[in-house]
Amino acid sequence: MKPVSYMNEWLWPATGQPLSTIIVEPSTSSQLVPWPLLQLFLAKFGAWYDHLAPIPRLILVISLVSSSSITVYSSGGRLHHQGTMTRAIRLLVLSLLGLFGIILAQQSAPIATRDEGDGAPVIPNIIDPNAVNAQSVCPGYKASNVKETGTGFTADLVLADDACNVYGTDIEVLDLVVEYQAADRLHVEILPKYIGQENYTWFVLPESLIPKPQAEAETAPSSDLDFSWSNEPTFSFNVTRKSTGDTLFTTHGSRIVYEDQFIEFGSSLPENYNLYGLGEVIHGFRLGNNLTRTLYAADVGDIIDANIYGSHPIYLDTRYFEVDENGSLTYAPNATDKSAHYESFTHGVFQRNAHAQEVLLREANITWRALGGSIDLYFYEGPSQDEVTKSYQTSAVGLPAMQQYWTFGFHQCRWGYKNWSEVKDVVDSFAKHEIPLETIWNDIDYMKAYRDFENDPINYPYSEGVDFLERLHQNNQHYVPIIDSGIYAPDPKNASDAYPSFDRGVEQEAFMLNPDGSLYIGEVWPGLSVFGDWIGALFNGTGANRWWISEVARYHSKIAFDGIWIDMSEVSSFCVGSCGSSNRSYGSVDATPGAPSTSTHNRNINYPPYTINNFKGDLADHTVSPNGTHHGGTLEYDFHNVWGHQLLNATYHALLDIFPKKRPFIIGRSQFAGSGNVAGHWGCLGTDKGGSGDNYSYWAYLYFSIPQALSFSLFGIPMFGVDTCGFADSVNEELCNRWMQLSAFFPFYRNHNEINAIGQEPYLWSSVAEASRVAMRIRYALLPYIYTTFYLSHSTGSTTMRALMWEFPNEPWLANADRQFLLGPAIMVTPCLVEGATTVDGVFPGVGSGNVWYDWYNLSAITGVSQAQNVTIDAPLGHIPLYVRGGHVLPMHEPAMTTTTVRASPWSLLVALDRKGEAAGGLYLDDGESLVPDATTWVDLSASASSLTAKPTGDFVDANALGNVTILGVQGTVSKVELSGIEVNPDNWNLDASKMVLQLTGLDALTSDGAWSAEWTLSWS
């Protein structure tokens, strides 16, 4: 080994090989010291030395060299004073013995214990001026051994030159798999050719954890996507859209870097590109070209552009082309000509990798970097956002969970409700002020010393809770408590500190471990805490899931909750490393080997050679350390981003155990691709309890709630909302007024704030109370429309909240529009987001191509507006501008105080005709709660030629009559109205010719058997 390289490995932990892997067993032919003791010393010295920073390493080496030199110098007779020589020798011997003793006193395994408080200071590579650019030193690969398959081909990728080993150890031979899985989906996978059990999870994301899209047939389908590759100068590939000739993704001009702890690849992008997705992040909807997206679940709060709670490694790329008179397409990076004709194409790219990642968006390119895993790319052809999103969900992550009807009502929560009496007063106050309240929530206040599954016996006794919940349920209202992710680790020496939930978890091997087999003990709200081992349960059959399901059921037997709120699930820990290991000893847990397994061999787990731009810096800061160990030997390093995802899965099955036939209702914090299959998410935009999530009561976060919601629609998590009125800091009346109205048009609608802020229940200000009543009347009237829209998200993958740009895909000036949105296809929301403003600017998309918009409040059509025109709209405090899109039929109910009462009220229809006098819509009916409904009905609603027809199909019986019908955009005069051939009494209908609105009331008598009991036609002439 060269001297410089040797010293580099000893002195610089960020780039050098760990010393513990350099030290090898010497020859046993001559042993002056018993080898087991020396071996123990060397192993412990290596592990101890590996954790020293560069400066302490340098001091140690200089000290040893200096003292040794003095001793040699003196023993050679150069120091003539015998006493000085004796003291020098004695000092060296004592120093070495002291060092020997300190090292031998180290624990016998690389415990995850590290300093409490903040993690070690690290410099992200993207801002480190001394960081090595892997593209400048790594050789890339050459493809060979190409073999065709039924759906594509395979090949070997071999290093093109000497390994660079810049941020790990280069993988010499890779497997390339290219397969056309479906007409709209291309799969490109690159992973090491030789993978064994010992390094399986370094590179492979198990399908049992995150499903892997599969080819739909044994032969390749016809596709508009084309894959090509080249070996010049090194291996690169292109993905092209055949119909346009547009290159969607190309690695040409860059090299693929593939090491055991670092992967890098990228693609050039067109000028002024439009990318969306890559969550979870607080950012505008369009990501822009100067952003580094870090995908590493972190409990960090509302930091703009930082990595926060979830990881969704998918983006959508929308490109606009100008179409000339011959139909030829020209890419339009700055499409501002309102007279030109444009056409857009959208494709999606999903990188199925759960390791810590960075995605660098720069002016002309995108670069992916990961600390492990594989290159597992899925290209979705589109060419529309709707097609990409549906295909992504149906092939990769699963369709969103259907929600119970009541979950679309209003939810109220606060951290700071001191006892059951205060919670009861809040519920009563909503009723007193005639503001609908569907569900009351509890934050951690209800817990005994912040322990899961135990109530505070003084403030939240079980007996009082039973009485309160019985009354709540009798009123058709609901209750949801928080359950945190950390489980208190009691003091085994203190009998009064006993915690049965913990004891049962230990018995079932339910918790994560240190590398030596002892329990990993971090710190959360209750103090020292352990964390569920969902990975060990999945791969090794240990008992985390069984334990969790049992504990949730035990708690429900005491407190009859209706859903669960999961928090702190990144997973959050307030100290760095297993900080409780020195204070709690439960003995070693049998970490029985199982598949897949892994180890830290040859990997720097806690401090990877490449430092991602993690907001917290150290990967162990405010979370479980990367070398936290799962039963079976796998490491948290390889599964960190899916810890919260697996907790949501466990909670889903826990609720199914309690309510076997009901849809589980879960709102969770940390999520991964596919979490929407079991849960919803609340937007955590700011500083929470002790430095975790939820939003600030600032105007900026009122705005940010919209792009965050639109992004989660793309991720397949439509059950989304934010902490209305803000979580941290005290809100003011104006902001809460605006926020209560905006959130009324999100699928999940909850007000929530923290203990140190003022109360913000909407009844505390008269103006907020009235604004809330106005918005809630609209929301509750629209519940059938919202429920139907959400059902289509659940059954087809369509979005519930929608960006204007994709509903009107040929209007490039909408590419950055994220201050307006659509709820479903027909309701456009244009909120006022500026403090002190009484107007708001908005656009009316599609007017240039004949679309009609109607004002929700006065029912009149919007006129005098040109294409792409920014219109100033009145928005006094307490008013949120809403518009109905022509061409749609909206099913509605009468608003009420609970969703149960809403569902029992007469039906009504709002028919918004387009310029052709046509409209269409649908209505989905079921019992509102069953996981697999016994009966369902779908009603097709269509209007044309001065008639409206309803065609029900299915066997769900709804006995509510049709009360009212309102038709917008009626042309000409009306002298007669008939319902299925029976003339409607003229007293029951009215035509406002100036607004072109036909209103019918009192239809109950003509539909007494139920509005959807049979097909009917309403006509006017």
Q: What single string gives the DSSP state of each residue in 308-351? A: -S-BEEEEEEEEEEEE-TT--EEE-TT---TTS-EEEEEEEEEE
3-state secondary structure 139-195: CCEEEEEEEECCCEEEEEEEECCCCCCCCCCECCEEEEEEEEEECCEEEEEEEECCC
Contact 229, 214 (CB under 8 A): no
Exposure string (b/e) for 861-875, b if CB count within 10 Å is 16 or more? bbeeeebbeebebeb
Dump strand ranges (E) for 705-814.
720-724, 749-751, 801-802
| Count of all residues that appear for the chain in the document | 1021
Catalytic residue from among 445, 551, 694, 734:
694
What are the Cα distances from residue 640, in Å, to 355, 383, 394, 561, 613?
A: 7, 34, 25, 30, 16
The values of phi and psi at residue 726, to 5°, are 90, 150
Catalytic residue from among 456, 567, 723, 811:
567
Question: Among this protein's residues, is 438 annotated catalytic?
Answer: no
DSSP-based three-state secondary structure for 979: strand
β-pairing verdict for 749-751 and 720-724: parallel
Catalytic residue from among 184, 443, 570, 958:
570
Contact 581, 490 (CB under 8 A): no
Cβ atoms within 10 Å, residue 755: 13
Task: Quote the tokens at residue 873.
Answer: 């709209």
Nearest to 967 by CA among 986, 985, 993, 987: 993
Kindly give the residue spans of alpha helices, DSSP state H, lying in 544-599: 544-556
Cβ atoms within 10 Å, residue 825: 19
Contact 299, 622 (CB under 8 A): yes
CA–CA dist 391, 602 (Å, integer):
39
What are the Cα distances from residue 156, in Å, to 186, 197, 201, 203, 658?
A: 19, 21, 21, 17, 51
Bridge partner list, 424: none
CA–CA dist 494, 474 (Å, integer):
43
Question: Among this protein's residues, is 425 annotated catalytic?
Answer: no
**Sole residue written with tokens 């905006």:** 742
Residues contacting residue 318 through CB under 8 Å, at least 6 positions apart: 274, 276, 344, 345, 346, 385, 805, 806, 809, 815
3-state secondary structure 438-464: CEEEECHHHEECCEEEEECCCCCCHHH
The values of phi and psi at residue 429, to 5°, are -70, -35
Dump strand ranges (E) for 649-804.
666-668, 680-683, 720-724, 749-751, 801-802
CA–CA dist 539, 98 (Å, integer):
44
Residue 249 buriedness (CB in 10 A; 0-12 / 13-18 / 19+): buried
Contact 502, 490 (CB under 8 A): yes
CA–CA dist 958, 964 (Å, integer):
16
Kindly give the residue spans of alpha helices, DSSP state H, lying in 879-950: 899-903
Residues contacting residue 1009 through CB under 8 Å, at least 6 positions apart: 959
Question: Among this protein's residues, is 694 annotated catalytic?
Answer: yes
Determine which helix (DSSP H) or strand (DSSP E) holds 883, and give its type and residue range.
strand 882-885
DSSP-based three-state secondary structure for 894: coil
Task: Quote the tokens at residue 604.
Answer: 């720097």
β-pairing verdict for 720-724 and 375-380: unpaired
- By annotation, the residues acting in catalysis are 567, 570, 694
